[in-house]
Amino acid sequence: MKSPAYYLRRMTEIGIGGVLSNAFLSLRHKAWAGSQSIWWGMRSRRPPGDPEFLSKTTGKWDSVQSLLRHLANRPGSSFVFPHDAQSASAALFKEKQPEYVANVISTADAICRNEIHLLGQTYRFPQGVDWHTDPVSGFQWPFWHRSRYVSYLYSARRSADLIVYWELNRHHFLITLGIAYWLTNDVKYVNAFGSLTQNWIEKNPLQHGMNWYYPLEVSIRLLAWTAAFQFFRASPAFMERCGSAFIKSLWQQADFLSGHLQIARTKKDTPNNHLIAELSGLFVVASAFPEFASAQAWRETALQFILQQADGQVYPDGMHREQAIGYHRFVLELMLLVLMRCKRDALPQERDLAPRLEKMLEYLLFSVTPAGTVPTWGDTDYGKALGLGLEKDFWDVRPLLSTGAALFNRADMKYVAQNLDPETLWLLGPDASNQWDALRARAPESASGRFPHGGMYIIRDSWSPDTDVAYFRCGPFGLGGAGYCAHAHCDLLSLVLWINGQPLLVDSGTYMYSGEWRGHFRLTHSHNTVMVDGVHQGDPKRFFGWTRVSNAECDRWDENSVSGRMTPVNGVELRRRIFHPQPGVWELTDSAKCGERGAHRLEWFFHLAPGLEVVVGEHVCSIVKDSRQIGTISIPDGGVRFEKRSAWFSYDYGVKLPNAQIYAVWEGELTETDADFQWRFDFTAGATDTGAINAKSA
């Protein structure tokens, strides 16, 4: 409840008419939410009976059990994965992917014990899973109609982060149980699946609880349910135990999703990965269950808007416009599911989707580090479409490149992927193994790459594991411009750098989507860039979005140099140039000028990879690893002060690690003539001290 002082202050700001208007709108919303809560409260207490549910199908079945028997007899490839014969698929995976098979069975056995692995951590539920409690903090979400969460979600009353909670309710672990059942025929996996899904259905009635709030979450859960159903549908134990409740709930969730797509909610939204996720889930469900009466309409609507969003959210060079590589991966995985279905059904839309997705894969191809991962640009919630890879490193994109190699006959993607991934076998079917074997791996023709629409420039010596590679972020701030850009960070003109196959400068990552640390990882000081006069590259909203944003533009690029400039701040024009004269050496020049002479302040931030230490010398920093100097970073002359600081790096959600930061500052007068600040990174043999360095001095 707000205090009287608040209303008096607002009255002086917007007048009594404005206060009354806002009060009326607030009361109207509360009345609407209350009526929705009452109506859906009555509906949710009575799950649909068989006649009501069957009336929502194409009308060919006299009972739910007859519908389930029909679904059990359909070819497996008519659902999500192009696999028809259970025994043949099991034999294929046991022959080609024995380690994966062992991992699946071990993970599924743990799930049977209510031990579920989520975002790098294992959570145990000895009393059964509580679908309304955050596994990390123990915070219990109030059980309301979904309309009541609008003002609650980001208020002070909420004391828990949502990501792990929602990851639990996305139900990717149900697919793991399904795969384990296909591999072993062990009914214990059917029983675990039945217990978990039936309990979820009972505890999450229609439109009640946080698991109905975001249509995105409903969609990802539907993908998991549809994929798992393919594995369990023919099991007598499944049909008897929970088949009827499962198929009814799946229909309810799909029907809900169809009426709550992002396109239908508000004109103020900027469609982003949420909409593509919602549309992809609806398309997959509609394609897998044409027996639902609305399936054809769902499928046509979803496919129409997916094609629109592929154009609207993905640049022609393949970069996703949100400027967050984790969401680039998420969107790519979702649209690959759509593309594979279009191919199987010979839909003409395949011709429109395939080139765009191949471009998205090319962006990942050139973004790969010597370790097979990608830099942690922008936000991420570590979301995946299906989670078939279990708990593989989220930032390792080689499984996607494996799929790209087999799907698009790309020898260069096979070269970087190195191995046929089990995800590829599931998505493309048994023939993927032969396609992979017939493809002769070949390194990409170019080592470096540029993506001018999205603003990513990559300079690489070669595709060998000990190569140097730099990633330079120089383009649009994010999707939607000022007021939006939900998942962008202040990382313009930022540099991520690997030298001799090892990480040197890293992007700091995301850490969490709530709490006091949320802003820290988004702002300029958490990236390897320059800040002018203490002004960040954007003004952040509380959790997502920015009210003011900068942009950057590249003015020169070749295979060993790149330069770009950023939107002026306080009249200061900033330009960064990167030059790579030889392996092990990188030169960085920052130039600043101002049309109107005046005093200004420049600050630099360089975030070193965890495990590296800094020894500060006179105009030079020695970089130390395992008590040995591996290189030096020379500091600009001209009054630049510098020091070593402690910083934070986050590679996994909710986990932050300490790392070293080199911080530098210059204060002085800028004129219309460039003031140049030159940095040199030297990691050649001549800059390496073969003697040991006392790590404590670092």
- Residues 541-567: tens digit of each pLDDT: 888 999 999 999 999 999 899 999 999
Average pLDDT in the 318-344 region?
A: 98
Q: How many CA atoms lie within 13 A of 108 on its CB side?
A: 28
* Predicted confidence (pLDDT) at residue 4 exceeds the cutoff of 60: no
pLDDT value at position 41?
A: 57
* Predicted confidence (pLDDT) at residue 399 exceeds the cutoff of 80: yes
Average pLDDT in the 404-411 region?
A: 98
Comparing C-alpha atoms, which of 90, 28, 59 is closest to residue 425? 90
Average pLDDT in the 326-331 region?
A: 98
pLDDT value at position 590?
A: 98
* Predicted confidence (pLDDT) at residue 27 exceeds the cutoff of 80: no
pLDDT value at position 47?
A: 76
Angle between helices 325-344 and 273-288 (to 10 degrees): 20
Mean pLDDT of the chain: 92
Burial class (CB in 10 A: 0-12, 13-18, 19+), 597: exposed
Average pLDDT in the 490-503 region?
A: 98
* Predicted confidence (pLDDT) at residue 686 exceeds the cutoff of 80: no
User: How many whole angstroms from its chain centre is CA 677?
Assistant: 35
Min mean pLDDT across 113-127, 255-269, 464-478, 623-637 is at 255-269
Q: Provide CATH code, domain 449-697.
A: 2.70.98.70
Where residue 1 falls among pLDDT bands split at 50, 70, 90?
very low
Average pLDDT in the 258-269 region?
A: 76
CATH 2.30.40.10 is the classification of domain 86-259:
no
| Length, in residues, of the chain | 698
Average pLDDT in the 292-305 region?
A: 97
Average pLDDT in the 7-15 region?
A: 54
CB 325 within 8 A of CB 378: yes
Domain ranges in the chain? 1-46, 86-259, 449-697
Comparing C-alpha atoms, which of 580, 484, 474 is closest to residue 528? 474
Percent of the chain with pLDDT over 90: 86
Task: Give residue-wise pLDDT tens across range 662-675.
Answer: 999 999 999 999 99
| Single-letter residue type at 192 | A
* Predicted confidence (pLDDT) at residue 341 exceeds the cutoff of 80: yes
Where residue 694 falls among pLDDT bands split at 50, 70, 90?
very low
Q: How far apart are CA 215 and CA 222, in angstroms?
A: 10
The DSSP element (H or E) to which 305 belongs, if any, is helix 295-313
Task: Give residue-wise pLDDT tens across range 431-478.
Answer: 999 999 999 999 999 999 999 999 999 999 999 999 999 999 999 999
Min mean pLDDT across 7-11, 167-171, 505-509, 574-578 is at 7-11
Cβ neighbors of 132 (< 8 A, separation 6 or more) are 140, 141, 143, 203, 209, 210, 211
Gyration radius from the chain CA atoms: 27
Task: Give residue-wise pLDDT tens across range 346-356.
Answer: 999 999 999 99
